[in-house]
Every structure is written in C-alpha cells, then in structure tokens.
Chains A and B, each alone.
Chain A
Amino acid sequence: MDARLRRVNKEIADCKNDKTSNIRIELIDESPFHLKGSFPGPDGTPYEGGHFEVDIVIPESYPFQPVKMKFITKVYHPNISSASGAICLDILKDAWSPVLTLKSTLISLQSLLCSPEPNDPQDAEVAKHYSTSKSSFEDTAIYWTQIYAGGPGPKEKKGKGSSRSDVRDEVAIAGLEKAHVDQFEALGFQRSKVIDVLRRLNYRGANVAQITDDRVVEELLK
C-alpha cells in the first residue's frame, strides 16, 4: 500500500476513535483522497450552534505537500471567501508541515472561526465590514450561520423579525440596514442592484457618514 494511503487511513481511523474531539471526517465517494470534514462552530462566536462542512482533497505527495481544504458551508468571515469557501490560513500554504494531520488542520479551521485576521483577508469586502462595524459584522455572521449552517439565529432581538422563515433576507445576507436599502430603492433603482452597490461600498456603521448619496447614485448608474 502506498505511504499516502496508509497515512490517510490511519488518520481517518484515529479521528473515528477519538470520542473527545468533535471533529468528523467522512468519505465523499469511493476515493480516500477526497473527504469531507465537519465540526461545530465554536461557542461564544457568531458561528456557535452551526455545523460547518469542509471539502478535503489529499494531494499526491501528502503529507509532504499541504492538504487542500475549503468550506462547503457558506461562512461569513474575513479569512474565508464568502463566494467560494477558499481559506486564507498559513498552514494550508507555506507553513504546512507533515507534523499536521487532517484532524489538527480542521481544529485550526475551527480556531480560525474564533480569531479572524482582518489584516490578512481572503474576502476583502467581509474584512472591511469587520473592521468598520464589528457588531454589524457579527449580526451578519450569525445570520449566515443560521441560514447556511443550521445555527439558532440572533438571540432575542425584539421585533427585528428574526423568526425563522423560508424567505432569505437578502439585506441581512449582505450585512446591510433595511432602511438604507429602502432609501435608494425608493429612488427607482432595482433592489438587488442597491444591495450589491451598498455592499461593495461597505455602507455600514461610521462609513455611512463618509459616503455621500451622490456617490451611491453614481455607482448605481454605472
């Protein structure tokens, strides 16, 4: 049996036998080199209560080359692409070493959820949101955890319409204020376009005062 297969089999078995960690690794298809990892979102973070799945590809020269991982579950986090699930983490790149395992790497992803690094972003828009208004960022991350990762949703925010519904709130997904979107929609622009532009402009928190209405309209007219 080749060295890579031997090691991966051991790692899968080890993870299965470890009842204390809450990391799971499963096969996706027949191949032992394409796997799915999962773990619960860490407590005390916007990801609490969510279940996060990660696509794992074991390269030919594993463990000498880093394992390839990306989130299958959509995550709102500065170091994770909100579109593709790509992850910015040093150990998945040049800081990889063969001392790391699938389990320890998944644990590192779990701790990445606890400690965002907005200065080394994978998703620049999300990182800007994080730096501009932490509380608004957290609301959005909690909402994403609710709709994509099965999280519990916001903790009793009175009258904000947080009751679960099948309709996804595009404004909340974009991390914007309903009032702001309504304001520009009322000028006759398409709602989806308004959401797109306000998201790109990072129209949140203290930033709102920095961005003139003219600037927004200019973008909307492009």
Chain B
Amino acid sequence: MSLCRLQQQLLSDSVPPRPLIDEIVPMSNLREEYENGSAAFVNQIDSLTARGYDSVRRTRGDGDCFYRSLAFAYVERILQSPEPDFAVASSVSALAATRDSLDKAGIDKIVYEDIYDEFVGLISTIVQPNSAGKKLDSAGLLLAFQSPEMSNAVVVYMRFLTSAEIRVHRENYEAFLIHPETHEPMGVDAFCANIVEPLGKEADHVEIQALCAALQLNVDVAYLNGGSEEGVVDFIPFRYASGSESLPLVLLYRPGHYDLLIKGKQGEQELRH
C-alpha cells in the first residue's frame, strides 16, 4: 500500500462513523456545530430549547435517517406506553394489516415477509421475553437499531410501507412526485422504484405524508433551516392517527437530514437511565 493511501486509511479509521442512531444528547451538542457559523441556526436552536426541546437523538446521515428515526420513535413510543400490552397488541394488529397493502402494491411476499417478521418480533419483545428470556428495554431498543441487520430491515419495511401507500392511493400523491435532483415530475411507479424503495435515498414531504398515513401516525417536523433570523422554527404537522389526542412524534429537519427532537421530561428520563 502506498504511503498516501495508508495515511488516508489511518485518517478515516480515526474518525469512526456516527452510529446508525445515537444516544440522546443535549441540544448544546448540536448548537456547538453552528456557534462559529450561522447566527440564524443558533437562534433557532435556542428558541427550540426555550420551547422545552432540550435534547436530540441523532442519526447517521446515510439517506435513511428519516425512516430510521421515525421507526425508532414509533417503537420507543410503544415501549414507553403506560399500557404496553395494549400498545403492542394494537401496533402488531395494525402492522399485520399493512401486509394487505404491500400485496396490493405488488410487492412480493418473498421480499417483505422476513423483514416484517423481524420488525413485529422486535415490537413483541416489549411484552414477551425473547428466546434469551429478555424483554426489550431502552438500551435493547437502541442496540437493535444500531445493528445494521435489524436496523436496515426496519428501514426497508418503512420504505415498503411508504411505497405501497403511494402506489395504492396514487391519486393522492401523483401530482406531487418530483425527482429530488432534476426536479422533473415523475410517475408513481418510477418514483417508488427509484426514490422510495432503494436504501440511501432521502425522503421529502411526500414520503413523510405517505408513511404517516400508512402507520396512522401524528408527526411534527421542526424545520431548522436558518430560515428565520429571529429564530422562529416552523413545525409542520402530519396528522393521521385515528385517536386525535395522540401526541405527535417530533422530527428535527436540517437541510438534507432528520434527527429526533426530544422534549425535556422525556429526555431527562432517558438520560437518567
């Protein structure tokens, strides 16, 4: 190996990549990255903190961050439910029903049944001990989402749900499908095959809408984009839960990336564990 390549390798070895999804960290961790840069971003971060959003759970910027963080928040919500038996049962039955829409969308059973089993299996261990006699706890959930095999299986299931929702209810989406780079309009099938189903392709408004609809979720996306000098942060609501009182899961958007945004109490609880 040449000296130059050796040096490069040493350099890249010394900076380990961010985990697929990380421990909760205080907002100041994110703030530091902007302190020498954009004042608008810093002001927005401060205003989020002032609203009680004092922590963040960061994900790797691999193009799958939206799907990964949403899935994590989805399972974590079940895990933290005051009635876990009920929460698990209703999630498992809702997920079972999603298989119909995958079938309708023409997604082959062969390609989804294993990852479906893994995802449902993970959720079930919240109440049913696994083969090692252990139930899923916060640490176990983080570990599961940090292991590429489980984590990517879940991401792929999220992508299939998104794709199936768009394909099956195409009339709701087809007017809004735009190629993320060329900004040309795209057809439903090409959009799903090229932008939604492959790993590593970033999600935009349409995909968020479709996945929230497929999983019947309430989600808020907070836009940290330097768009306001005064630090105003827009929260874009996606409301698809049947029980309207369901608190939204909150994602933090920065251009090209999604993390999870966490409000005080929840963050403190997590950090204390």
| Contact (Cβ within 8 A) B108 A99 | yes
**In the complex, chain B residues whose CB is within 8 Å of the CB of A11:** 110
Chain B interface extent, by class: 20 to 34
- Check A63 for interface membership: any CB of B closer than 8 A: yes
> How near does chain B come to A46, taking the closest CB pair, in angstroms?
28
Complex formed: what's the CA distance from A35 to B107 in Å? 24
Interface centre among B160, B163, B199 (most CB of A within 10 A): B199
Complex formed: what's the CA distance from A3 to B150 in Å? 10
- Check A14 for interface membership: any CB of B closer than 8 A: yes
> How near does chain B come to A120, taking the closest CB pair, in angstroms?
15
**In the complex, chain B residues whose CB is within 8 Å of the CB of A96:** 198
With contacts A3-B153, A64-B152, A99-B160 known, is A94 near B111, CB below 8 A? Answer: no
**In the complex, chain A residues whose CB is within 8 Å of the CB of B246:** none
Binary interface profile of B, 21-56, with partner A (CB < 8 Å = 1, else 0)? 000000000000000000000000000000000000
**CB-based nearest B residue for A2:** B149
**In the complex, chain B residues whose CB is within 8 Å of the CB of A3:** 114, 118, 149, 153
Residue pairs across A and B with CB atoms within 8 Å: the count is 48
Interface centre among A14, A63, A99, A104 (most CB of B within 10 A): A99
**In the complex, chain A residues whose CB is within 8 Å of the CB of B160:** 99
Complex formed: what's the CA distance from A95 to B156 in Å? 14
**In the complex, chain B residues whose CB is within 8 Å of the CB of A97:** 159, 193, 197-199
Interface centre among B111, B149, B156 (most CB of A within 10 A): B111
**In the complex, chain A residues whose CB is within 8 Å of the CB of B200:** 94
With contacts A3-B153, A64-B156, A99-B108 known, is A94 near B114, CB below 8 A? Answer: no
Binary interface profile of B, 151-193, with partner A (CB < 8 Å = 1, else 0)? 0110010011001000000000000000000000000000001
**CB-based nearest B residue for A61:** B148
Complex formed: what's the CA distance from A27 to B152 in Å? 27
**In the complex, chain A residues whose CB is within 8 Å of the CB of B111:** 7, 63, 98-101
With contacts A7-B110, A63-B111, A64-B156 known, is A95 near B199, CB below 8 A? Answer: no
| Contact (Cβ within 8 A) B110 A14 | yes
| Contact (Cβ within 8 A) A99 B148 | no
Complex formed: what's the CA distance from A217 to B200 in Å? 52
Interface of B: prevailing SS = helix
**In the complex, chain A residues whose CB is within 8 Å of the CB of B152:** 61, 64
State how many residues of chain A have any CB contact under 8 Å with chain B.
Answer: 18
Complex formed: what's the CA distance from A127 to B99 in Å? 44
**CB-based nearest B residue for A65:** B199
Complex formed: what's the CA distance from A124 to B149 in Å? 38
**In the complex, chain B residues whose CB is within 8 Å of the CB of A98:** 111, 115, 156, 197, 199
> How near does chain A come to B214, taking the closest CB pair, in angstroms?
16
- Check A155 for interface membership: any CB of B closer than 8 A: no
Which A70-116 residues sit within 8 Å CB-CB of chain B? 94-101, 104
- Check B90 for interface membership: any CB of A closer than 8 A: no
> How near does chain A come to B86, taking the closest CB pair, in angstroms?
30
Complex formed: what's the CA distance from A10 to B112 in Å? 12
- Check A164 for interface membership: any CB of B closer than 8 A: no
- Check B7 for interface membership: any CB of A closer than 8 A: no
| Contact (Cβ within 8 A) B108 A95 | no
- Check A6 for interface membership: any CB of B closer than 8 A: yes
- Check B81 for interface membership: any CB of A closer than 8 A: no
Complex formed: what's the CA distance from A101 to B106 in Å? 13
| Contact (Cβ within 8 A) B107 A99 | yes
With contacts A61-B148, A64-B152 known, is A101 near B199, CB below 8 A? Answer: no
Question: What residues make up the interface of A, taking CB atoms closer than 8 Å to B?
Answer: 3, 6-7, 10-11, 14, 61, 63-64, 94-101, 104
What are 26 of the A-B contact pairs (CB < 8 Å)?
Answer: A3-B149, A7-B111, A7-B114, A10-B110, A14-B110, A61-B149, A63-B156, A64-B148, A64-B156, A64-B199, A94-B198, A95-B193, A96-B198, A97-B159, A97-B193, A97-B199, A98-B156, A98-B197, A98-B199, A99-B108, A99-B111, A99-B193, A99-B197, A100-B111, A101-B110, A101-B111
Beyond contacts A6-B114, A98-B156: 13 other A-B pairs, Cβ-Cβ < 8 A, are A3-B118, A11-B110, A61-B152, A64-B148, A64-B156, A95-B193, A95-B198, A97-B159, A97-B198, A98-B199, A99-B107, A99-B108, A99-B111
Q: Which 8 A-B pairs have the closest CB atoms?
A: A97-B197, A97-B198, A64-B152, A99-B197, A98-B156, A10-B110, A99-B111, A7-B114
